[in-house]
Structure 1
Amino acid sequence: MHTYKSLYLCSVAKYVCKFCIRLQSTARGPSAPLGARLLTNPEDIFQHNMWDHVQWTEEEKERAREKAEDNSSVHIPLAEQGKFDTEACGYWDRFYETHRNKFFKDRRWLFQEFPELLPLRLRSPLADVSQAGNSSSGRTSETCQDHSSDPPPQHRDADSPVCPTSVDAQAAHGEETLVTSFPGQHADFRILEVGCGVGNSVYPIVKSIKETGAFVYCCDFSPHAIQLVKEHPDYDQSVCHAFVHDLCEEGASFPVPLQSLDVVMAVFVLSSIHPARLQAVVNRLTTYLKPGGVFLFRDYGRYDLSQLRFKKGQCLADHFYTRGDGTCVYFFTRDEVRSLFTNAGLEELQNLEDRRLQVNRGKKVVMHRVWMQSKYQKTH
């Protein structure tokens, strides 16, 4: 590890000047996303648990590529792969039954990175999504837990009119279904979180949107997870509706009409779906967005530490693995994310690769983390 530290310190020094210029260029504007704790002095590496916007050397990139190639060289036999798809709900249900609400932390960074979760009239003037663009500096606190390794430590010492609700065109069947009423029908701002788990995004949202005229829907295909959401003391039916839903089931409808949502959010969710199914899922979710609505996305990035930790024989497809508990995970690139959402007819507002250095100060170990964060808008 000391050799790795020496190599890393050398690579950091190479990028110090570049980072200083980037930080200065954003200091005059609104707070940019994904953190602003930059390692400008290599000797400071063990002073914090996490550093933002870490540049990889070509050697580090090659080592990561080789490691991923090696742990993907042995695939799970085709005869055994089907169960990870057909039994996915059961695997996740057992996961939540085992861990309940003790595995993930509440995502209190949500409104800093995703101010679009608030009606336009309640947002800070500096939180304009159009100014976030594809920049890559600022400050955040990513409290997502790594399901395949020890959780990383915490990193921090359109206002729209009511959409007509009479018709919900069920595109999968070519039918029209009369919708006379639905939860949140009187709200003037509606949010859907898919794959909500036990509510680590839901609770911060619910607390923030009370008495604002907004409403949040949340779903997961684990009945146990949804039960835990409903049992939480912050669950409030006047501003929230939780329900069981399988994103991959084409015939399943949401309890809202098409084009009735201002925001769809997927945080560490799409990675659990087989990559061959992802485009259909995003296409379908997009039909529920209003024109002007935004799709918010955060998930695992290619060559994240958790990908490199997989052993041979856990790979289902390229960059798609199954964990020991049967749950699955995919690791995205920026280009893949862009294709996924633009192919669904959405316009890119933000598409970032969040590269960080996680530090175990006690053991003097440094680890590369990679996450993706994106925002795409439905323009018509």
Structure 2
Amino acid sequence: MAAPREAPEPRLFGRRFLTDPARLFQHNAWDNVEWSEDQEASARSKVQENSSQLLPQDKQEEYEVNAKRYWDEFYKIHENGFFKDRHWLFTEFPELAPNRNPSQNGDSVHEFSNKDDSNNEGLGSCENGHCSLETRAENQLNLIKSTPKICTEELATQKYSELNQSDGDYPGSSASYRILEVGCGAGNTVFPILQTNNDPGLFVYCCDFSTTAVDLVQNNAEYDSSRCFAFVHDLCNDQSPFPMPDKSLDVVILIFVLSAILPEKMQCIVNRLSRLLKPGGMILLRDYGRYDLAQLRFKKGQCLSDNFYVRGDGTRVYFFTQDELDDLFTTAGLEKIQNLVDRRLQVNRGKQMTMYRVWIQCKYRKPATPQL
């Protein structure tokens, strides 16, 4: 029996609805697609099948120990060419835009740009188990490929030790609005923020587990050290220091990042990030939802634990429910502003293919006064 459906959220993503099946291939994507009970049952059956055979514990430990190496190899291969520009970023997260209005928190428009694109062969493509979120936009980020410079975790840690945070002497200490993106990759979120938000009080921090990814950011022509600080950071190591003190950040961004972490370590990580927020500061998240296309495409032998998988390249991914994310954030002392499921039907008109995507978008705020 299918689980009872929750009442629909008052706000939905996008405004292009598929009311006539005959029009399926007229557009690249359709918004707010309702799943039938049969479709949901089929998805649940596929997940049960692909998770029926778990990897041995010694192999699971090997993937955990070598996680950094796998992500370094991923970015060495793809550099900045895999993840496309996030043209929905400022629509969904107005907190990142110039002239931000605090009253907009939780009240985003939820309208994605569904521009027609006759050359959409890459739409919703999955490569080695990585399914890109973004549909094509009118302008793609022109991230510059360049020779990586030396940047090691040891050097980054040494640099942090030279900071005197207690005296307010740290990167971005004079800023009036501070954003941290965790898991910045090649900069597909950081650079749109720097290019779009001309607030003179803005300072953006960005970190990644992968040294190669941070190198790509630092070597990008758009990288401006007066407005941005990129650093290597292991979220799972609670002894790994941040370059900024607690209660100093206005926004923490988590876009397809938390899903790459061992599930039993997620709570400690969210707790750490919560401590970095000022009272009233927010965590913005977008990540994979349960029964997304990427989850259904896994084969037997790739499952590590419930809804947690390893891709062919060694990187890992978890698929969330709304309740799981709500538990993580509220346990960390944050209050819910937004927790929505975004169900979309993406269409590859060239190949006459349909792809059902499921993502979750959340906004959680640190209370202005401590909770009792």
Please tell me the TM-score bracket, short chain as reference: 0.7 to 0.9
Matches within 5 A, 1:108-187: 108-118=87-97, 122-123=99-100, 128-132=104-108, 138-141=110-113, 146=126, 148=129, 151=132, 154=135, 178-187=166-175
Structure 2 residue 208 is the aligned partner of structure 1 residue 199: no
TM-score (norm 2): 0.83
CA distance in 2, matches of 1:179, 1:271: 36
In the alignment, structure 1 residue 50 sits paired with structure 2 residue 29: yes
Residues 1:295 and 2:247 are matched in the alignment: no
Aligned residue for 1:38? 17
> Which residue type is aligned with residue 111 of structure 2?
R
Query: What is the distance in 1 between the residues matched to 2:284 and 2:126?
Result: 20
Report if the CA contact (8 A) 1:33-1:113 is conserved: no
How far off is 1:70 after superposition? 0.4
Q: CA deviation at 1:253?
A: 1.5
1:6-64 Cα offsets, whole Å, 9 max, x none, are xxxxxxxxxxxxxxxx9xx98xxxxx562221112222111111111000000000000
Match of 1:212 in 2: 200
- The verdict on how the C-alpha distance between 1:53 and 1:189 changes in structure 2, with shifts beyond 3 A counting, is same
Describe the shift of the 1:188–1:48 C-alpha distance in structure 2 as closer, same or farther (beyond 3 A). Answer: same
* Residue 270 (structure 2) pairs with residue 282 (structure 1): yes
Measured in 2, the distance between the counterparts of 1:347 and 1:63 equals 34
Structure 1 residue runs of 5 or longer lacking an equivalent are 1-21, 27-31, 158-175
Q: Distance in 2 between matches of 1:156 and 1:96?
A: 23
Q: Secondary structure at the match of 1:241?
A: strand
Q: Which amino acid aligns with 1:36?
A: R
| Partners of 2:283 and 2:363 within 8 A in 1 | yes
SS of 2:253's equivalent? Answer: strand
Cα displacement (A) at 1:179: 4.2
TM-score (norm 1): 0.81
1:362 and 2:350 are equivalent in the alignment: yes
Note if contact 2:124-2:134 (Cα within 8 Å) is conserved in structure 1: no
- Deviation of 1:247 after TM superposition, in Å, equals 0.6
Match of 1:14 in 2: none
Quick check: 1:94 aligned with 2:73?
yes
**Does residue 203 of structure 2 align to residue 226 of structure 1?**
no
Unaligned runs of 5+ in 2: 1-7, 115-122, 139-163
Count, aligned residues:
327
What CA distance in whole angstroms lies between the structure 2 residues aligned with 1:46 and 1:82? 44
> 1:316, 1:355 → 2: CA distance?
25
Among 314, 323, 344, the residue aligned to 1:326 = 314
CA distances 1:272-307 after superposition (whole Å, capped 9, x unpaired): 001111011000100000000000000000000110
Q: Equivalent residue of 1:65, what SS?
A: helix
| Whole-Å separation in 2 of the counterparts to 1:72 and 1:130 | 35
Distance 1:124 1:257, change over 3 A: closer
Alignment of 1:55-94 (within 5 A): 55-94=34-73
